[in-house]
């Protein structure tokens, strides 16, 4: 009998010890210090921190928590004191914005509004658990819950019913549903019952997010190593959630103005005479452009920090000639340094001991374009300093932009060994932990290096891979896409999702990288490209030429129309980028940002629509569609081209034309524009054109300008002006400009849309007579319809007044 009892006890103990899923169990100890709660449970340790009134951080591990380090989060906790109370049942943390209930038996978290409404909760019976080294948190999936964001992820705007993996991947020619691709941003926004919240899972290991894929019970997020470490954010508006997220991970610096212009790229333009030909043709055909990019064929045998002397015998002279024509040069840089005796970068890297290594101390070698290569350790300060020194070759040659490619890390075979070690700022870690942050640290090295080499000049840095926080250093483009209709529309969703995830400066290869776009697709893509943050035309090797003139006169005129419009809109764009640098809000905005709880914006028929800044509603469609529905959100909307007014809150069937991209203007909008220029180094005329659209809602626009190339704005050298349209007061107010700099515009032309036959306005008590005028945002294209009639000029009738001496406050009474 005793033997049987002992056997039963041993069997029970072995069963417990062999439990395949480890859960925290009950709370056994609690200590509180300031805004931090330290908790010990039966099988885990946790630290809960009130990071700000709207942000609560959760850290958990199976063992006592170790070093607190992040490449993504740069903000410390705010100095404030939450209210923390506890009893035998739970611990409560309360701020003005948010309440957290921590259950003791078992440990579980519930986030609530101050009124007690549940925002988000651990799924009862699951919560957080470990399977080996893999850690996952399971959240109750609310009725009707939607999920948006998660950075550069394919698929639909609403991610409900799908799962995603974060592992930066060289995804050449990826499909529209492929996952993962190039970048990792483990931040998403949940939406249900009129509420929204954000969760940022700051863990750089391979991670997985499940939004109800293969289950109807929970959403979850987890990683195959490291801590459970997430930030819970609650605000009433999605815009404020993005503000709080970017207060943690940082915001983009103001880019150089030239980087907002049109960029002409190809894999590859060479030799230098071909580059000259492209530049000269852009100018001859009056296609505004600011940048030309050189792909890997500018190098000597693909070796980084070299020039192919037969193709580019004098890079500095070439770039000086391009600069005189108004072009900036961007060059591609890959992390792989060829293993070759006598190659300066290799010899220097070995001498400086900056390459990543195996556990036995030998440098890791992987094969990429130059052959077998070593790779700098950008997670070490020494590696970043070494990289900055190498970049001097580009500064001496007059290069203005650095395009960081292959930084996932990409190698032939796509399987870097896991036992390769990285510094992680002096705390060595394996490839498993470092992989997803490698691209982020490479662009950090490029940005910091470029700033140090050319002090006072803003660098342009572009990347393919990255991690949360990449916006502090670089713009991102969506990689090697395809010249296909669905890829064009996917690119829009990718950029919108990046905008939701704290990355405002994004672009795609307009026209498609792989394959050959037919003329109609290319034309539509160029139209859409004009309404994206980074406007880059790019195609791959072994494809047809894809410059605007390569598709015939009609496509050339369509492309030029929309590039022209973009350049006239530069004051509006630059103000939008300034807003992004201050708030984290993107220029390119899914409708889910402003119309979060409107189910129509998640309809797959309308999910590609977006706002470009606060005013432009862009409705992209496949190029061969003749008819398509558009959804106009609540409010009133003006047709960009005709000023016809539509009531919102409804669907509208459109007749489509390849000559026009459907674009609408939100009522009450204020849109600054300038005269047409051929590049940003050319001064526009001295009149700022201020378009104001009549509406029923009060609206503000913050106009901003500076020199567009230096950091003088940080010392007050800018001109900023708040502009308000108030229909209740029937007025437009232009506040006195702020900042030490004068505007480049000495006149303002006020253009009133939708105000009927208004004859005059009062300006600071003085009456000004308005003139009737017509504005054409695009020009007619030289094409004849089947009836033989030419296309008419499409224009808007406006009421116009020009004001001079505009440096004081102006109140315009309508």
Catalytic site includes residue 145:
no
| Catalytic site residue from 405, 485, 557, 705 | 405
User: Which residues touch 405 (CB under 8 Å, ≥6 apart)?
Assistant: 332, 333, 334, 464
CA distance 569 to 618: 15
Output the DSSP codes for 277-342. HHHHHHHHTT----EEEE-GGGSBTTBTT---TTT-S-HHHHHHHHHHTT-EEEEEE-S-EE--TT
Q: How many Å apart are CA 672 and CA 691, to the nearest integer?
A: 6
Using CA atoms of 119, 151, 486, 214 in order, give the dihedral in degrees to the nearest 10: -50
CA distance 44 to 28: 10
Q: Is 155 left (phi over 0), alpha (psi -120 to 50) or beta?
A: left
Output the CA torsion sign for 243, 245, 248, 253: negative
Q: Are strands 128-131 and 766-769 parallel, antiparallel or unpaired?
A: unpaired
d(CA 320, CA 724) in angstroms, rounded, equals 43
| Phi, psi of 655, deg, nearest 5 | -90, 120
DSSP state of 372: E
Q: Six-digit token pair at 811?
A: 């109140």
What CA–CA distance (Å, rounded) separates 577 from 581?
Answer: 6
How, if at all, do strands 337-338 and 371-374 pair? antiparallel
The tokens 């399987």 sit on which residue?
415
| HSE-CB of 299 using CA atoms within 13 angstroms | 21
Asked whether the beta carbons of 358 and 421 are under 8 A apart, the reply is yes
Phi and psi for 690 in degrees, rounded to 5? Answer: -110, 105
Q: Which of 480, 509, 705, 706 is catalytic?
A: 480
Counts for the chain of helices (H) and strands (E), in that order: 13, 51
Half-sphere exposure of 492 (CA within 13 A, CB side): 29
> Is 236 an active-site residue?
no
630 touches 637 (CB < 8 A): no
Cα distance between residue 749 and residue 751, in whole Å: 6
Three-state DSSP class for residue 485: helix
- Which residue of the set 179, 227, 272, 408 is catalytic? 408
**67-89 per-residue burial string, b: 16 or more CB within 10 A, e: under 16:** eeebbbbeeeeeeeebebeeeee
Q: How far apart are CA 537 and CA 522, in angstroms?
A: 10
Q: Which residues contact 590 (CB under 8 A, 6 or more apart)?
A: 148, 157, 493, 496, 497, 499, 500, 601, 607, 610, 611
What is the edge-to-edge ordering of all strands in the sheet holding 163-166? 128-131, 134-140, 218-223, 207-210, 163-166
Q: Is 208 a residue of the active site?
A: no
Locate 499 and state its tokens: 């905008």
Contact 475, 505 (CB under 8 A): yes
Neighbours of 413 (CB within 10 A): 8
By annotation, the residues acting in catalysis are: 405, 408, 480
């Amino acid at each position: 009998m005793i033997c049987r009892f002992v056997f039963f006890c041993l069997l029970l103990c072995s069963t417990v010890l062999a439990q395949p899923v480890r859960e925290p169990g009950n709370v056994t100890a609690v200590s509180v210090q300031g805004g931090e709660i330290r908790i010990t449970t039966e099988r885990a340790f946790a630290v809960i921190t009130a990071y700000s009134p709207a942000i609560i951080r959760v850290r958990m591990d199976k063992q006592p928590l170790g070093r607190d380090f992040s490449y993504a989060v740069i903000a410390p906790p705010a100095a404030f004191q939450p209210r923390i109370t506890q009893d035998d049942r739970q611990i409560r943390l309360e701020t003005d914005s948010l309440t957290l209930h921590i259950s003791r038996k078992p440990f579980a978290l519930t986030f609530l509004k101050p009124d007690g409404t549940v925002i988000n909760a651990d799924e009862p019976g699951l919560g957080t658990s470990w399977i080996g080294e893999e850690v996952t948190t399971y959240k109750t999936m609310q009725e009707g819950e939607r999920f948006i964001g998660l950075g550069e992820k394919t698929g639909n705007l609403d991610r409900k019913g799908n799962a995603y993996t974060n592992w930066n991947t060289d995804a050449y020619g990826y499909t529209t549903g492929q996952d993962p691709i190039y970048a990792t941003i483990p931040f998403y926004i949940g939406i249900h019952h009129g509420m929204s919240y954000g969760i940022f899972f700051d863990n750089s290991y391979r991670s997985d997010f499940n939004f109800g894929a293969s289950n109807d019970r929970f959403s979850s997020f987890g990683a195959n190593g490291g801590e459970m470490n997430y930030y819970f954010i609650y605000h009433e508006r999605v815009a404020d959630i993005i503000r709080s997220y970017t207060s943690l991970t940082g915001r983009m610096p103001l880019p150089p103005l030239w980087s907002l212009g049109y960029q002409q790229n190809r894999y590859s333009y060479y030799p230098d005479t071909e580059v000259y030909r492209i530049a000269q043709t852009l100018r001859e055909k009056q296609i505004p452009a600011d940048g030309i990019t050189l792909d890997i064929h500018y190098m000597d045998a693909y070796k980084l920090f070299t020039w192919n002397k037969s193709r580019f015998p004098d890079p500095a002279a070439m770039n000086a000639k391009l600069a005189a024509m108004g072009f900036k040069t961007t060059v591609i840089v890959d992390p792989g340094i060829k293993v070759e005796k006598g190659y300066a970068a290799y010899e220097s890297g070995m001498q400086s001991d900056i390459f990543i290594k195996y556990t036995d101390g030998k440098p890791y070698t992987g094969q990429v374009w130059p052959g077998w290569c070593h790779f700098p350790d950008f997670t070490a300060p020494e590696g970043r300093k070494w990289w900055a020194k190498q970049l001097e070759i580009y500064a001496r040659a007059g290069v203005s932009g650095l395009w960081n490619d292959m930084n996932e890390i990409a190698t032939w075979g796509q399987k870097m060994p896991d036992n390769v070690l990285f510094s992680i700022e002096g705390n060595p870690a394996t490839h498993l932990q470092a992989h997803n942050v490698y691209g982020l640290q490479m662009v950090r090295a490029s940005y910091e290096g470029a700033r140090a080499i050319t002090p006072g000049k803003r660098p342009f840095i572009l990347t393919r891979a990255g991690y949360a926080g990449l916006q502090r250093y670089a713009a991102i483009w969506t990689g090697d896409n395809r010249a296909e209709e669905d890829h064009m529309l996917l690119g829009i969703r990718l950029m919108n999702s990046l905008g939701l995830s704290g990355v405002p400066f994004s672009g795609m290869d307009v026209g498609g990288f792989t394959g050959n776009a037919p003329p109609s697709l290319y034309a539509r893509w160029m139209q859409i490209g004009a309404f994206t943050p980074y406007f880059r035309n790019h195609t791959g090797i072994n494809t047809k030429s894809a410059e605007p003139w390569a598709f015939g006169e009609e496509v050339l005129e369509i492309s030029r129309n929309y590039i022209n419009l973009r350049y006239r809109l530069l004051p509006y764009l630059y103000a939008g980028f300034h807003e992004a640098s201050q708030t984290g809000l993107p220029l390119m905005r899914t409708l889910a940002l402003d119309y979060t709880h409107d189910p129509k914006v998640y309809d797959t028929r309308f999910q590609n629509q977006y706002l470009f800044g606060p005013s432009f509603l862009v409705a992209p469609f496949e190029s061969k569609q003749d008819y398509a529905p558009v959804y106009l959100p609540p409010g009133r909307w003006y047709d960009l081209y005709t000023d016809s007014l539509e009531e919102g809150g409804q669907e509208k069937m459109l007749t489509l034309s390849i000559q026009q991209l459907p674009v609408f203007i939100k009522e009450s909008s204020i849109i600054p524009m300038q005269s047409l220029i051929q590049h940003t180094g050319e001064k526009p005329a001295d009149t700022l054109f201020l378009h104001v659209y009549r509406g029923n809602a009060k609206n503000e626009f913050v106009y901003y300008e500076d020199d567009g190339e230096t950091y003088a704005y940080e010392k007050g050298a800018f001109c900023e002006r708040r502009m308000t349209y108030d229909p209740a007061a029937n007025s437009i107010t232009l506040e006195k400009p702020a900042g030490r700099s004068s505007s480049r515009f000495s006149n303002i032309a006020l253009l009133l849309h939708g105000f009927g036959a208004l004859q005059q306005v009062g300006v600071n008590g003085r009456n000004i007579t308005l003139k009737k005028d017509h504005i054409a945002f695009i020009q007619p294209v030289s094409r004849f319809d089947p009836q033989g009639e030419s296309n008419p000029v499409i224009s808007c009738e406006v009421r116009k007044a020009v004001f001079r001496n505009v440096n004081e406050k102006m109140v315009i009474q309508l």
